[in-house]
Amino acid sequence: MNNFSATYTDQYQLAMAQVYFKKGHKDHQAIFDYYFRELPYNGGYAVFSGLEYLLEILSNIRFTDTDLEFLKSQAFEDDFLKYLKDFKFRGSVYSSQEGDIIFPTRPVLQVEANIIEAQIIETILLNLLNFQTLIATKASRIREVAGHASLLDFGLRRAQATGGYFATRAAIVGGFDGTSNVLAGKEFGIPVSGTMAHSYVQSYDDELEAFRDFAAGRPKDCVLLVDTYNTLKSGVPNAIKVAKEMEERGERLLAIRLDSGDLSYFSKQSRKLLDEAGLDYVKIAASNQLDEYVIKSLLEQQSPIDIFGVGTNLVTGDPDGALDGVYKLAYSNGKPRIKISESIVKITLPHKKQVFRIKDDNGKCIGADAIALSNQERVMQMFHPFEPYKSMELSKFHQEPLLQKVMENGEMLINKRSLQDISAYSRERLSELPLEYKRFNNPHIYKIGISGALRDEREKLITTYKEKLK
């Protein structure tokens, strides 16, 4: 699924691009910032996902002949369409690494390109990064509470159509171990696994016979669904019979799956029956509308569940429909640009920028990122972006620059990592964040500040625009 047409955009991008073309602005260099304003799930952090996939798309994106015919039918003019025939993204991208933990209002990524290219790619960039970041963040919250249990994505059937494909990718970035999604597994190199459906058991007259046939077909990774009729009186006893028959053949039943009822109670009772039968190696999988809160509660009750299958709440990012990531112009045609809004939090930050993560001597985050002008190597003091009396002295801290050049002239500069490597990086970055930022209820608020130089530049621009209005 990585052949996106450049028409994967909003019409207004093309309408603006046509004006830039006709007015001779097409070679004006622009810088756009990608950032979001609100953390999803009332959480304390988000996990950045989608970057490496986006970079691949950007290096390939084109308008085909049929795309151009369609645009002609939409009243775009011939000279502009001729220009689009050679369209290619030739810009640079500066970004946080995929898997890093990110926070509101600070640039996560910057695009530097001619204004037409930068504008046309806005929509696909937001579409891919906002959704995958939303889902990777959900997955990470689930991973945080799941301890050593394996986490499987079961969500494809419940996802917003093809979003399921990207949800699976993001779930792995956030810390899931595998998926039932065969296409995503194949294309992203993710372990694919699965159990059986109730319909399979129902289609047999006899549950035991259904289990036997399934075990014969999948002797190495057999998981039996035990709740179709009666979990403790029928499902688990039949699974035990099949496990014993497998032992005689030198095989091992991998797990049973519980999909209904009180998962804590049934997992404890099932564990007891399995252990009494000498099957302590048979694992217990659970599913059914799970999320981070239910899994946390199940494990707090010491439920002996080894594998969680999570569908709906993972892939839809429940209860948040979207991440509110935006793409805002910071610089164009040699000048810093600003959007001045009635609402102070919507005033944008001009100029090309760098973001520093502030760390103590042990490499732990102190809970602050500082936004600076790109030519600043350190930030001595950071100021609250909208509350001028709040500031923090940063000179004694380590400062890690977060935005790195990951694309130049439309070519990816970084080596593509496996999703498992991105996930391991994400876990490592999360381990640098103190626990109070990770709790679910009222997490501590991570501070985002701006350097004095950036603040002064912003003030200068605001003053200039106010003068113009007089």
Ligand X SMILES: O=C(O)c1cccnc1
Ligand Y SMILES: Nc1ncnc2c1ncn2[C@@H]1O[C@H](COP(=O)(O)OP(=O)(O)OP(=O)(O)O)[C@@H](O)[C@H]1O
Q: What is the Cα–Cα distance from 24 to 230, expressed in whole angstroms?
A: 73
Q: Is 43 helix (H, G, I), strand (E, B) or coil?
A: coil
Q: Which residues bind ligand X (CB under 6 A)?
A: 154, 180, 194-195, 287, 309, 311
Q: Which stretch binds ligand PRP (CB under 6 A): 84-92, 283-291, 331-339, 444-452?
A: 283-291
Residues 237-276 that bind ligand Y (CB under 6 A): none
Q: What is the Cα–Cα distance from 421 to 190, expressed in whole angstroms?
A: 11
Provide the sign of the torsion angle of the four alpha carbons 423, 426, 427, 428, taken in this order. positive
Alpha-helical segments (H) within 74-149: 78-85, 115-120, 122-145
For ligand X, the closer of residues 203 and 431 by Cβ is: 203
> What count of other Cβ atoms lies within 10 Å of the Cβ of residue 164?
23
CB of 224 to ligand PRP, least distance (A): 13
Q: Which stretch binds ligand PRP (CB under 6 A): 110-118, 126-134, 193-201, 380-388?
A: 193-201
> What count of other Cβ atoms lies within 10 Å of the Cβ of residue 77?
13
Closest CA to 310 of 101, 145, 439: 145
Residue number with the shortest CB distance to ligand X?
194
Residue 442, Ramachandran bin (φ over 0: left; ψ between -120 and 50: alpha; else beta): left
CB of 68 to ligand X, least distance (A): 41
Interaction of residue 316 with ligand PRP, rule CB under 6 A = no
Interaction of residue 418 with ligand PRP, rule CB under 6 A = no
User: CA 135 → CA 53, 55, 281, 366, 377, distances in Å?
Assistant: 15, 19, 32, 26, 33
Interaction of residue 199 with ligand PRP, rule CB under 6 A = yes
For ligand PRP, the closer of residues 290 and 379 by Cβ is: 290
Residue 392 contact partner, candidates ligand PRP, ligand Y, ligand X, none, CB within 5 to 8 A by sort of partner: ligand Y
Q: Which of 184, 382, 402, 461 binds ligand Y (CB under 6 A)?
A: 382
Using a 10 angstrom Cβ sphere, with 0-12 exposed, 13-18 middle and 19 or more buried, the burial of residue 389 is: exposed
Q: Which stretch binds ligand Y (CB under 6 A): 32-40, 272-280, 381-389, 415-423?
A: 381-389
Can you name the residues that pair with 391 across neighbouring β-strands? 383
For ligand X, the closer of residues 287 and 316 by Cβ is: 287
Residue 194 contact partner, candidates ligand PRP, ligand X, ligand Y, none, CB within 5 to 8 A by sort of partner: ligand X
Contact between 101 and 433 under an 8 Å Cβ cutoff? The reply is: yes
Closest CA to 315 of 180, 148, 124, 428: 180
**x-or-dash string of contact with ligand Y, 324-363, rule CB under 6 A:** ----------------------------------------
Interaction of residue 383 with ligand Y, rule CB under 6 A = yes
Residue 289 contact partner, candidates ligand X, ligand Y, ligand PRP, none, CB within 5 to 8 A by sort of partner: ligand PRP
CB of 385 to ligand PRP, least distance (A): 39
Q: What is the Cα–Cα distance from 6 to 65, expressed in whole angstroms?
A: 12
Residues 185-214 that bind ligand Y (CB under 6 A): none
Interaction of residue 392 with ligand Y, rule CB under 6 A = yes
Q: What is the Cα–Cα distance from 408 to 412, expressed in whole angstroms?
A: 7
Interaction of residue 448 with ligand Y, rule CB under 6 A = yes
CA angle 368-369-372, nearest 5°?
140
Residue 199 contact partner, candidates ligand PRP, ligand Y, ligand X, none, CB within 5 to 8 A by sort of partner: ligand PRP
For ligand PRP, the closer of residues 154 and 383 by Cβ is: 154
Provide the sign of the torsion angle of the four alpha carbons 392, 393, 395, 398, taken in this order. negative
For ligand Y, the closer of residues 359 and 384 by Cβ is: 384
Q: Which of 32, 154, 266, 308 binds ligand PRP (CB under 6 A)?
A: 154
DSSP count for the chain of H helices, then E strands: 16, 21
Q: Which residue has the tokens 């369409």?
A: 81
Interaction of residue 433 with ligand Y, rule CB under 6 A = no
Contact between 42 and 318 under an 8 Å Cβ cutoff? The reply is: no
Q: What is the Cα–Cα distance from 87 to 95, expressed in whole angstroms?
A: 23
Residues 95-134 that bind ligand PRP (CB under 6 A): none
For ligand Y, the closer of residues 205 and 389 by Cβ is: 389
Interaction of residue 194 with ligand PRP, rule CB under 6 A = no
Interaction of residue 390 with ligand Y, rule CB under 6 A = yes
DSSP letter string, 349-414? PPS-EEEEEEE-TTS-EEEEEEEEETT-S--SEEE-SS-TT-EEE-TTSEEEE--EEEEETTEE-S
Q: What are phi and psi of 116, to 5 degrees?
A: -70, -50
Q: Which stretch binds ligand PRP (CB under 6 A): 137-145, 170-178, 282-290, 424-432?
A: 282-290
Q: Which stretch binds ligand PRP (CB under 6 A): 44-52, 58-66, 184-192, 305-313?
A: 305-313
For ligand PRP, the closer of residues 158 and 352 by Cβ is: 158
Q: What is the Cα–Cα distance from 281 to 271, expressed in whole angstroms?
A: 10
Interface residues toward ligand Y, by CB under 6 A: 382-384, 390-392, 447-449
